[in-house]
Amino acid sequence: MERDSSAGTRLRVLVTRRLPGGVLDPLTRSFEVDQFAKPDDMTPDELARRVRGAAGLVCVVTDRVDRQILDAGEDLQVVANIAVGYDNIDVAYAETRGVVVSNTPNVLTESVAELTWGLILSVTRRLAEGDRLVRAGAWTRWSIDFMLGTELAGKRLGIVGPGRIGTAVANRATAFGMEVVGAVGVDRGEAEDSDRRKFPHQLVSLDELLVTSDVVSLHVPLTDATHHFIDRRRLARMKRSAYLINTSRGAVIDEAALAWALHERLIAGAALDVYEHEPKVHPDLRTLDSAVLVPHLGSGTRETRKAMVQVAVSNVVAVLSGQPPLTPVRV
Ligand code: GLV
């Protein structure tokens, strides 16, 4: 339970980030908030030092909340990640220590789906490449066969991971006249069963999706089972004319294998928002015009980021007030 503030024993919550004004008010009203004020990431040492004695931790995807941090934070009751993904947190270990982990699903579904479509259009119509060309002063004239792209109408979109975001991406496909199929990535039991039931489009096997889709979009969480899920073998199953889109987590794709596939023209292009070793990007990908590369912007709208912080804050307030979390993560 939240302790009496007048006694000077308010629970402390560590926030690893500067956040927009006002969003932390529900926390500051009831708890002592220790907010990291610098624009960069906390080092693991600083995080370990400041998490000591904290009852709550509000963190982001670039904060690695591993055993060392969870051990240092022996008073922790809740870790609220400002993200839907939670591969930066050792959730299984947190569970053994009785620490609740929460994420921010739902509020970012639309923004990630919108960015995914931005990437689909950008790579199929060569928008980033065209922008570079114009800026470089290299555009000399209009011509009939100049920078031709691929039309989406009548083509097949394959959604790998037909959950909330995958479904939101799929639902927008009708606006472009695309046919949609979905396939589960790695079977995650019940969660995947419920996704399957709610996906309002045709479900096929993963292999059929890879072999028949013109655009393949990845929407699976990063787990041990999905690490390098898209490898040389699966890339080789795709059509030579197909495009691969990733707004999930970088390490779901073997980046070196993707660079190879693009270089060998085994697929037509790729558009990525996420990378295996962010902010580093495989050097070969950076040289390929067939790759559209953006810097992890999936949930990056003002509306969504604010809503994500609000959800994280509400989770901390709930748990530290003895209530169940709104959006807990379970492994
Ligand atoms: C962002 O990458 C998220 O998981 O929300």
**pLDDT tens readout for residues 58-117:** 999 999 999 999 999 999 999 999 999 999 999 999 999 999 999 999 999 999 999 999
Q: Is the CB of 108 under 6 A from ligand 1?
A: yes
pLDDT of residue 191: 65
The pLDDT assigned to 192 comes to 66
* Ligand 1 centroid distance, CA of 26 (Å): 23
Chain-centre distance of CA 185, in angstroms? 16
pLDDT on residue 2: 45
Mean residue pLDDT across the chain: 95
pTM above 0.85, yes or no: yes
Residues designated catalytic? 249, 278, 296
Nearest residue (CA) to ligand 1, atom 1: 83
Sort 25 into a burial class: Cβ within 10 Å, 0-12 / 13-18 / 19+. exposed
- 59-73, 98-112, 196-210, 286-300: lowest mean pLDDT where? 196-210
User: Residue 197: its pLDDT value, please?
Assistant: 79
CA of 8 to the centre of ligand 1 (A): 36
In terms of pLDDT, which residue wins out, 185 or 37? 37
Alpha helix stretches (DSSP H) within the chain:
25-30, 44-51, 67-72, 91-96, 109-124, 127-135, 164-171, 190-198, 206-212, 232-237, 255-263, 283-287, 302-320
**pLDDT the model gives residue 21:** 76
Residue 1: band (very low, low, confident or very high) from pLDDT cuts 50, 70, 90: very low
Q: Whose CA is nearest to atom 3 of ligand 1?
A: 83
Q: What is the pLDDT of residue 4?
A: 43
Among 61, 164, 223, 309, say which to mutate for ligand 1: greatest number of ligand atoms within 8 Å of CB. 61
Residues 6+ apart with CB under 8 A from 63: 16, 41, 42, 47, 88
Question: In angstroms, what is the span from residue 240 Cα to ligand 1's centroid?
Answer: 30
